[in-house]
Amino acid sequence: MSDVAQIPENMELIYQYPDSMTKKSTHYCPGCTHGVIHRLVAEVLDELGVREQTIGVAPVGCSVLAYYYFKMDFAEAPHGRAPAMATGIKRVNPDKIVFTYQGDGDLAAIGTNEIIHAAHRGELITTIFVNNAIYGMTGGQMAPTTLEGQKTTSSPFGRDPRIAGVPVHISEIMAAIPAVAYATRQSALDLPGINKTKKAIKRAFMAQQQGLGFSIVEVLSTCPTNWHVDPWDAMQWAKENMIPEFPLGNTKVSDAVAALKV
């Protein structure tokens, strides 16, 4: 488990790299919550003891290199297609744990078709959906989840619903799909939020393990770099602006998922 050479007798090892993570430094910007969310997923896979049985699918976007940080088999999908790829992987490996890790551009714009149909088929996969209301990797363009009035490089006067429509609410869409066992929106904006997010991720993977249906955890996140604010202000901005638009909490919990002891 631990590669710490020697722990003095009067000390206890209480925090270390999860087995499910590599020790590579991430390329994420300072203040980005991808690192935190990666770690939560890794801790959950460790706790469930399924690292060696897990196959991940990375998206296109800031987390395109997720497979450098997760220590398990991984594929890298075309933009938005992770749920289709994960479908192929899971159907030929029904005994494996399969998850996609996707951002808002990937999942809620170019990949809506794939996510909605994977959910309707009740694919026994888990999706971690990181929503920071902007395209990060391509340099801060408007995302499907960009708030009304929010300025981005492609909505320079603020998102105008008359031109660009309104934000996409994935967790609410998922709630309307009968084959979805678990859909929830959490946040990585403070410690209580992070703790709840971890619990939600664990519930989602357990739902998959038990074969209960499709599970998705949306995590509200930040992008200090493209929002042009420091990490602390980014957290505050997200709490003040994103949470009112994207309320936290479960949108769908099947009875069987509710009965899981997480």
Shortest spacing between CB 202 and another protein, in angstroms: 20
64 binds another protein (CB under 8 A): yes
> Nearer Cβ to another protein, position 52 or 160?
52
72 binds another protein (CB under 8 A): yes
Q: Residue 10: count other Cβ atoms within 10 Å of its Cβ.
A: 5
Q: How is residue 180 written in tokens? A: 């979805």
113 binds another protein (CB under 8 A): yes
Q: Residue 199: count other Cβ atoms within 10 Å of its Cβ.
A: 16
88 binds another protein (CB under 8 A): yes
Q: With residue 103 as reference, give the H or E element that holds it.
A: strand 97-103
Specify whether the CB–CB gap between 227 and 138 falls below 8 A: no
Distance CA 118, CA 173 (A): 13
Residue type, 216: I
**For another protein, which stretch binds (CB under 8 A), given 88-96, 183-191, 196-204, 221-229?**
88-96
> Nearer Cβ to another protein, position 39 or 159?
39
Site track for another protein across 33-52, x = CB under 8 A: ------------------xx
Shortest spacing between CB 163 and another protein, in angstroms: 27
CA dihedral 228→232→237→240, nearest 10 degrees, is 180
Beta strand 180-187 with 249-253: parallel, antiparallel or unpaired?
Answer: antiparallel
Nearest Cα neighbor of 196 from 204, 109, 153 is 204
Binding test (CB under 8 A) with another protein, winner from 42, 85, 124, 170:
85
Q: With residue 104 as reference, give the H or E element that holds it.
A: helix 104-105
Size of the site for another protein (CB under 8 A): 35
Distance CA 9, CA 260 (A): 38
Site for another protein in 153-212 (CB under 8 A): none
Distance CA 48, CA 169 (A): 30
65 binds another protein (CB under 8 A): yes
> Nearer Cβ to another protein, position 65 or 256?
65
Shortest spacing between CB 34 and another protein, in angstroms: 17
67 binds another protein (CB under 8 A): yes
Specify whether the CB–CB gap between 257 and 202 falls below 8 A: no
Binding test (CB under 8 A) with another protein, winner from 4, 11, 13, 92:
92
**For another protein, which stretch binds (CB under 8 A), given 59-67, 126-134, 172-180, 244-252?**
59-67
Beta strand 214-220 with 54-58: parallel, antiparallel or unpaired?
Answer: unpaired
Residues that bind another protein (CB under 8 A): 51-55, 57-58, 64-65, 67, 70-78, 81, 84-89, 91-93, 96, 113-114, 116-117, 121
